[in-house]
A = this chain, B = another copy of it.
């Protein structure tokens, strides 16, 4: 009954949230930002407990880094909410409309999705982002964060609930699962009676668990085995700059490049220098025979390397003979996230853009641009790698649906 009570309360709140004016929603967002800053010491104190417990449990330092809040990070969360307040409200937009020959006026209006559940890892800033984006788009949100961040998440959500109460709005518009067991997460995945959409954010393991178990319509996010293909006509300097950027600017994110495909005819011109630049930045290289010929420090790539999202200072490199081979390789190993061709050849650029099946396809640019902020949508709730509903960075608009609104004066169907 725990999940049922929690989710049905969210569904009840949603009826109210869906009808809030933009003005009220923005007031709640700004008050929530202020409340985060006002409660900074309290949040930091509770977060320290979570962090200490995680350290005692011996988790990795990268994990501790994501879990840890600082004064600056809490300011960032507050600023995020303030920014969401400045974004256009997608709810109530009319996206289509016409008058039928029989006089019926038919219009398509943008409305909230309803109740959105988000399962995410131990990054407390997601709690604030998700609340802000869901509220602004008129949705109630049920959050299930990683167990290591549970006390921090509860503290943050309680601050938001208090702001909602102060504003006279149903506080169940934001819910947090205090029970972080797998069993409860599985029950949440089956709560299609109350939850309209489930968004898993996290590892391939989490996404697969959701695909296998969820009875709620899902949006898969964030698995990115991204490729850059260096065609024989590519500009060498541009190519090296783009590869270094896509691999090393922030290797732990989903739009970082993982495999490079190098046209055989340009291998001798680019590989020696590329190998040196990657080595300078401590990037481990796994390559085929040709690659190892030109880059002595490269180790042998095995089948698994082509399918791996390293999210680390590691890159796989393969030599290829044709663009068709590239398209097949990406079709086989890619995850439909971001794929880039570096070329001066018009026909090859067009062919790559048309035939590579991914959320974002690039010519002569870094894959790192696939991001709601970079695309100019403001904050994002995740990057969809599925084809249904949303594909690529999901902003406020992707957290809405439409309804047909039809006005008549007595029409009946003949």
**Interface residues, chain A, CB within 8 Å of chain B?**
15, 18-19, 98, 100, 104, 106, 111, 113-114, 192, 196-197, 211-212, 215, 217-219, 235, 238, 241-242, 244-246, 249, 331, 349, 353-355, 357-366, 368-370, 374-376, 386-389, 391-392, 401-413
Q: Known interface pairs A104-B369, A410-B235. Does A388 touch B217 (Cβ–Cβ under 8 Å)? A: yes
Pull 24 A–B residue pairs with CB atoms less than 8 Å apart, ordered by A: A15-B355, A19-B354, A104-B369, A111-B357, A114-B357, A196-B388, A197-B387, A212-B215, A238-B409, A238-B410, A241-B410, A241-B412, A242-B411, A245-B412, A353-B405, A358-B403, A361-B406, A363-B407, A363-B408, A364-B409, A365-B410, A365-B411, A366-B413, A388-B401
Q: Known interface pairs A369-B413, A388-B389. Does A362 touch B408 (Cβ–Cβ under 8 Å)? A: yes
Each complex incorporates copies of this chain amounting to: 2
Q: Given the complex, which residues of B lie within 8 Å of A376, measured CB to CB?
A: 98, 100
Q: A15-B331, A361-B406 are in contact. List 19 more A-B contacts (CB 8 A).
A: A15-B355, A100-B376, A104-B369, A113-B387, A114-B357, A197-B388, A217-B217, A238-B409, A245-B412, A349-B407, A362-B408, A363-B407, A364-B407, A364-B409, A364-B411, A365-B410, A368-B412, A391-B404, A392-B403
CB distance from A23 to the nearest CB of B (A): 17
A196 to B402 CA separation, bound complex (whole angstroms) = 22
> What secondary structure prevails in chain A residues at the interface with B?
mixed
CB distance from A376 to the nearest CB of B (A): 7
Q: Which of B18, B113, B211, B364 contacts A408 (CB 8 A)?
A: B364
